[in-house]
Amino acid sequence: MRKCYLLILLLTLALLALGWVGCGKEDTAPKLATVDGTPIAKAEFEAYLKFKRLPAGDEKRKQVLLDQYVERAALAAAIEKAAVLDTELIQAELNEFRKEMLISRYFEKYLKDTVTEQAIQNYYNTHAGDYEQRMAHGAHILIRTNNAMGETERKVKLTTAQEAYSKIRAGEDFAKVAESYSEDKVSAKKGGDLGWLKEGSIDPRFSKILFELEPGAVSDPFETPFGFHVVKLIEGPQTVRRPFEAVAGDIRYQLRAKAKQAELERLVGEVKIEKKELGHR
């Protein structure tokens, strides 16, 4: 409440300083009150009621708000007369607040009107390829290696992978061999099953070999930074499009950012700007 009161007080001071409160003795607009000779116009107070979102017809509440509004205007006028505050600093703060509010409110309305749900749907429909990805259901047997291993130890690991591969070629079930040989203990418990993998989301060589297999086919042993693999393609590959609901948020963010930047450049381009370098007269 204290912050809200202070904000209203600062805004009132700014309005007084900028000449927004009242229009002088020559103003013929309907007045509701005067504070130290400065009129409070009916239109000004009605704008305040709109800001407060007062329900139409609530005359009792409207009168209470008017009394409070006039009292704050009087308090602001008295503080301004006292001249105990740094008015230039307050004015600078109010100017920045006003600019920020104008910019924020404008783009809030502009983007709401521009980046509609239909615009998001249209973008999704016309950029369908951007939301498609190839997926493959694969399984593997992994015999781990690391950089600290010597050549002899690496050959032993390769021999183990080749042994597992030979058993599969001889007719043994891939899942059973994976359970016995694979050092990827998580997938080994599932017969080596890795689930559906997105192309390119794994090691490039692993991905290339997996996605080039025919369903049911098993690869020769090959090496990646993780070790020696024997890979089986269970299903796929197939192209899957991500559903609209899954990408709508990203599209909305992308379109809003693009629209805001374009509108910002357009608006600034309509204003003549002249400035001097600091330190130069």
Point out the least confidently predicted range of 1-10, 38-47, 77-86: 1-10
Class of domain 133-241: alpha beta
The pTM score is 0.58
State CA 92 to chain mean position distance. Answer: 31
pLDDT greater at residue 104 or residue 31 = 104
The mean pLDDT value for 277-281 works out to: 69
Percent of the chain's residues with pLDDT above 70 = 89
| Four-point Cα dihedral 23, 27, 28, 32, nearest 10 | 40
pLDDT greater at residue 254 or residue 132 = 254
Q: Which pLDDT belongs to residue 261?
A: 97
Q: Which H or E run includes 32?
A: strand 31-35
pLDDT tens across 254-269, in order? 999 999 999 999 999 9
Task: Work out the angle at residue 210's Cα, subtended by the Cα atoms of residues 208 and 216, and round it to the nearest 5 degrees.
Answer: 150
pLDDT tens across 142-184, in order? 999 998 899 999 999 999 999 999 999 999 999 999 999 999 9
Q: Rounded to whole angstroms, how far apart are CA atoms 104 and 202?
A: 42
Reported confidence tier of residue 23, pLDDT bands at 50, 70, 90: very low
Where do the domains of the chain lie? 2-114, 133-241
Percent of the chain's residues with pLDDT above 90 = 69
